[in-house]
Structure 1
Amino acid sequence: MVAIKFVVFFVAVTFVSGKFVHEMKMPGKDIPFTWLNCSTNELKIVVEELKLSPEPIKLGKNIILSAIVRVKEPVGLDERSPVNVDLTADVVKPGQEQPLDVCEYDEGHCHFKNVCSRFKGKESPKIQKELGLPYKCPLLTGIYRIPKTTFRIPELEYTINGVFNVTIKITEGKTQIGCLTFKFCLESCY
């Protein structure tokens, strides 16, 4: 569950266009944190920089995230073309070859319809106010910087670990406006 909530956090701060791959070495084995464009189309939202540390991500510990996001055209102007976010996520656990479909167990954290309607009449969360990030639609043209920010990953009653492979697709109506694929390690990957 925390892994899904972590992915949802990425949805809130990351969308990608362009071709870029970022890799880091992980302790014990070379399993990189990577992110890259999963579309060759010209998209409205571009992540120009995305950093995450330390690796691997540990439950009950802090992570530091920073990003630079460029919005090339306003998003969410027309209510007849709702903004939707769809995730696919799987985890490869140590010692297993077949990935497990994370969304199969919790569809509610993988598909978000009409994202703009979720903001109406709601106050910005404290963290977004502190970072100066918008919590409304339309999302206007500009560059949004997320400085190095520390987040605590909660502990769970159970252990979950492995390499997570995630794809986030953002559409406005029927048009794809953002796409990101990334891989990260939770707890241990070997």
Structure 2
Amino acid sequence: MELSLTASLLLSLLVAAVPQQVDCGSSGLKRVMRAQLLGFDWKNCGKPDAPAVLKTLAVSPDPIAIPGNLTASASGSTAVELAAPLAVNVTLEREVAGFWVTVPCLDELGSCHYQDGCQLLDQLIPPGQDCPEPLHSYGLPCRCPFKAGSYSLPKSDFYLPYVDLPHWLTNGNYRVQGVLGAGGKELGCLKIALSIHSE
């Protein structure tokens, strides 16, 4: 999958697993001063002929501290242009007593269907605004449409700010799956596994 689409899917997955910073006065949110993401792992879960594929993704350190610094690199390709509307189906599971339980969609977080991932990107990075670093420096797009091709992000440093988490997102092991689709066809699928430890 094109790198920026990879970023789009990862953002969508992280929207489900680690919400964006929002007002603590909102119902059911708790301020998290420190958190750690441990055991980050990923894999493609699409069909063998899926047009959008993440080829490499490396993140460090382990554990990842929030707030804190993150180093990441990625590469991927897409055989077709990816344009709005780009559906994203997210499934979030939490391990409870040795069983994986699906977390329902609550306030647009959890196991949710997003009709257009392109609109999610526009909310995070408004049109007309430069793409965030390091995408901007490497000339990588951050909005739809994403042209067919292969892209890579060299090892780059990011800063992760503190977040406000919903009350149901507590310490534990999580699995997140994101499926991209358009016109009723699956374009790509990515699974992420991690553990959350917050204070």
Q: What TM-score comes out, normalization by structure 1 length?
A: 0.67
Q: CA deviation at 1:10?
A: 1.3
2:71 aligns to what?
64
Alignment of 1:30-69 (within 5 A): 32-69=39-76
1:24 aligns to what?
none
Q: CA deviation at 1:67?
A: 0.4
SS for the counterpart of 1:39 is coil
CA distance in 2 between counterparts of 1:186 and 1:65 reads: 19
RMSD of aligned residue pairs (Cα, Å): 3.2
CA distance in 2 between counterparts of 1:100 and 1:84 reads: 23
Alignment of 1:141-156 (within 5 A): 141-156=148-163
1:107 aligns to what?
108
1:83 aligns to what?
86
CA distance in 2 between counterparts of 1:175 and 1:43 reads: 10
Runs of 4+ aligned structure 1 residues displaced above 6 Å come to: none
CA distance in 1 between counterparts of 2:59 and 2:186 reads: 26
1:22 aligns to what?
none
Q: How many pairs were matched up?
A: 159
> Structure 1 residues 55, 9: CA separation in 2 closer, same or farther (over 3 Å shift)?
farther
Structure of greater relative contact order (alpha carbons < 8 Å, 6+ residues apart): 2
Q: CA deviation at 1:181?
A: 1.0
1:74 aligns to what?
81
User: Which ranges in structure 2 are unaligned for 5 or more consecutive residues?
Assistant: 1-6, 14-37
Alignment of 1:1-40 (within 5 A): 10-11=10-11, 32-40=39-47
Maintained 8 Å contact 2:93/2:175? yes
1:97 aligns to what?
98
> Structure 1 residues 122, 92: CA separation in 2 closer, same or farther (over 3 Å shift)?
farther
2:33 aligns to what?
none
Q: CA deviation at 1:169?
A: 0.2
Is residue 2:175 matched to residue 1:169? no
SS for the counterpart of 1:10 is helix
Q: CA deviation at 1:140?
A: 1.0
Q: What TM-score comes out, normalization by structure 2 length?
A: 0.64
User: Which ranges in structure 1 are unaligned for 5 or more consecutive residues?
Assistant: 1-6, 14-30
Q: Deviations over 1:118-150 (max 9, x none)?
A: 548442332232342213332112211112222
Q: Identity, % of aligned pairs?
A: 26
Q: Which has the higher strand share?
A: 2
Maintained 8 Å contact 2:52/2:188? yes
Maintained 8 Å contact 1:92/1:100? yes
2:26 aligns to what?
none
1:164 maps to amino acid: Y
